[in-house]
Structure 1
Amino acid sequence: MVLRKNILVTGASSGLGEGMARQFAARGRNLALCARRTERLDELAAELRTAYPGIRVVTRALDVNDHDRVVTVFDEFRAELGGLDRVVVNAGIGKGQPVGKGRFDANRQTMETNFVAAAAQIEAAAAIFREQRGGHLAVVSSFSALRGLPKNVTAYAASKAGISSFVDGTRLELRGSGITVTELRPGYVRTEMTGRAGNTLLMTSAEKGAHALVKTIEAEPKRAYVPAWPWVPLTVVMRLIPGRFLRMFV
């Protein structure tokens, strides 16, 4: 397995992004961290530099919906670290609302961030990896990508299904280029975004979720449901369950 020393993580100021940054730092990796909230990002960077003095941690402010800025920031990270070995496309939101309730603004923002902005990040990372003739692209999708879902998750599930398809196409496009592409489909992991879901037996703690994600990313599979239990068995349930029962998943 190739050692991926320099790792870029988007959406790193909180949630899964922050958790993955901590896990990668503990493994001695150099980090390029970006997010909109720079105060929290800089606090995390300072903490990691102190805890792991042997690594480099660089940061940038980035709203992934500013697509030109995505390219600029990725290129700046590459120059500052002397190359990028892995890019984790993680930034995303879950602000969707039920269809027809007058909140298309929230649904549009969810789809633009989770699909269009993620595609922009993939584009920027792939361009760098093509020039380097190698690299690992890891994209955080969701278990929700399996099929359409009701209530507040309709736009979210659609955006994740879209980016999952985009990742599949990207993998085919980059075949034979020395670039590895991984799609991650996490289940319920407790973060700020999933906190409103309340307590459920299916919810994994943020620390365990981040650990499982990084362990999976390090293995570089084509696709993985994380954590494997109970989400791999639940893929069968999700595909076969009648639509009227899908509300139990949201």
Structure 2
Amino acid sequence: MIRKNILITGASSGLGKGMAVEFAKKGRNLALCARRMERLEELKKTLLEINPAITVSIKSLDVNQHDDVFTVFREFQQEMGQLDRMIINAGMGKGASVGTGYFHANKQTAETNFVAALAQAEAAMEIFREQNVGHLVTISSISAVRGFRRAMTVYAATKAALTSMSEGIRIDVMNTPIKVSCVHPGFIRSEINEKVEKVPFIVDTETGCKALVKAIEKEKANTYVPAWPWAWMHWVLRMVPAKSLRGMS
């Protein structure tokens, strides 16, 4: 099935922007939202240059303003007639070791990556249940498979929660025309990690987003991308001793 009308949150930069570019190449209509409207305007221009035949709608949205999430998703649906796929991508990676005085940053990450993701899932699934068709996609992380230290502690916890929530929603709508996929990116260069110098197996944004879109199109329950090495590496991460993880983060 070709999902023609695709909504992406957090689309102004990083993985959201990269996925929008890849979907534009495939001829999909795009509903894009993020906080930075000026970046969305620039992206819309780029996407229409890539493929003038598609429709691109953009709206300003802070996903932590939960009522606005429901409003914006509905507006996109009304404009496009139907939303075929919604990708919950908006997120952040602030934080530090728990108990070191950075509660505000850790809280902000927790609220954005999980509570706001819940709001997006609620808004998306209301629409899909009414349509009786749709594909919900959540962008989790390879870090969801284990706990990590320092700045990764709360981030990894939110991604584990997102993975679990995605599975729960999937079970809830099992054997219906509504599909739910959770994608776990490995290390892909983007704004969220641009200041981190040494990252194992990291790929550039374009390579990573091509892998993301390929995985999304397959509509599997859980995928780990890019496939090499993360399709098998996530099993290794689940089994290695905690002291080995200490040296990785």
TM-score bin (small chain): over 0.9
**In 2: Cα distance, 1:153 partner to 1:176 partner:** 36
* Alignment correspondent of 2:141: 142
Q: Deviations for 1:98-140, whole angstroms, at most 9, x for unmatched residues?
A: 1111000000000111111011111111110011110001100
1:89-108 to 2 correspondences below 5 Å: 89-108=88-107
Q: Deviations for 1:156-184, whole angstroms, at most 9, x for unmatched residues?
A: 00000111111110001111231000000
* Alignment correspondent of 1:55: 54
**In 1: Cα distance, 2:116 partner to 2:219 partner:** 23
**In 2: Cα distance, 1:30 partner to 1:225 partner:** 25
* Alignment correspondent of 2:168: 169
Size of the aligned set, in residue pairs, is 249
Equivalent pair of 2:187/2:200 in contact (CA under 8 Å): no
Q: Determine if the alignment matches structure 1 residue 10 to structure 2 residue 9.
A: yes
Q: Deviations for 1:53-106, whole angstroms, at most 9, x for unmatched residues?
A: 100000000000111100000000000111100001000000011111100000
Cα offset for 1:240?
1.4
Equivalent pair of 1:35/1:63 in contact (CA under 8 Å): yes
* Alignment correspondent of 1:237: 236
Equivalent pair of 2:135/2:178 in contact (CA under 8 Å): yes
1:91-130 to 2 correspondences below 5 Å: 91-130=90-129
**In 2: Cα distance, 1:88 partner to 1:103 partner:** 30
* Alignment correspondent of 1:133: 132
Cα offset for 1:245?
1.5
The amino acid of 2:132's aligned partner reads: R
* Alignment correspondent of 1:69: 68
**In 2: Cα distance, 1:249 partner to 1:55 partner:** 43
Q: What is the TM-score normalised by the length of structure 1?
A: 0.97
Equivalent pair of 1:4/1:85 in contact (CA under 8 Å): yes
Q: Determine if the alignment matches structure 1 residue 19 to structure 2 residue 21.
A: no
The amino acid of 1:249's aligned partner reads: M
- Moved >3 Å (runs of 4+): none
Structure 2 segments unaligned to the other structure (5+ residues): none
The amino acid of 2:202's aligned partner reads: M
* Alignment correspondent of 2:82: 83
Equivalent pair of 1:6/1:30 in contact (CA under 8 Å): yes
Cα offset for 1:145?
0.4
Cα RMSD of the aligned pairs, angstroms, is 0.9
Equivalent pair of 1:28/1:54 in contact (CA under 8 Å): yes
* Alignment correspondent of 2:203: 204
Residue aligned with 2:214, SS:
helix
Q: What is the TM-score normalised by the length of structure 2?
A: 0.98
Aligned residues with identical type, % of pairs: 52
Equivalent pair of 2:5/2:84 in contact (CA under 8 Å): yes
**In 1: Cα distance, 2:21 partner to 2:176 partner:** 30
